[in-house]
Amino acid sequence: MAQTCEHLGTARDVSPSGDGCVECLRDGGRWVHLRICMSCGHVGCCNSSPGKHATAHWHEHPEHPLVRSFEPGENWWWCFQDELTFEVDGAPPAPSHG
């Protein structure tokens, strides 16, 4: 039986906070890949990036458990709380940076 994310109902229609990781841009850092919080639109860097700001955002806001890839052509979701990667049938394409 496939696992199901228990938090999909918390996702909202969000606008990205910017075209890059908010904290890296502010601090002059760099990132590998970007993630967008599906509760508030915060754009943060992945765990392969030095700052790991998407995960840090979740630690600061545990009520924001869902992110999507913010990379062109990628439509997967990640739930921090359920530790689950998934795609949503019929969901619009993921937003992505230019």
* Domains (range + CATH), the chain: 10-86 (3.30.40.10)
The tens digit of pLDDT for each residue in 11-59 reads 999 999 999 999 999 999 999 999 999 999 999 999 999 999 999 999 9
- Segment 2-12 shows an average pLDDT of 86
The tens digit of pLDDT for each residue in 48-61 reads 999 999 999 999 99
pTM: 0.93
Decide if 21 contacts 67 (C-beta within 8 A).
Answer: no
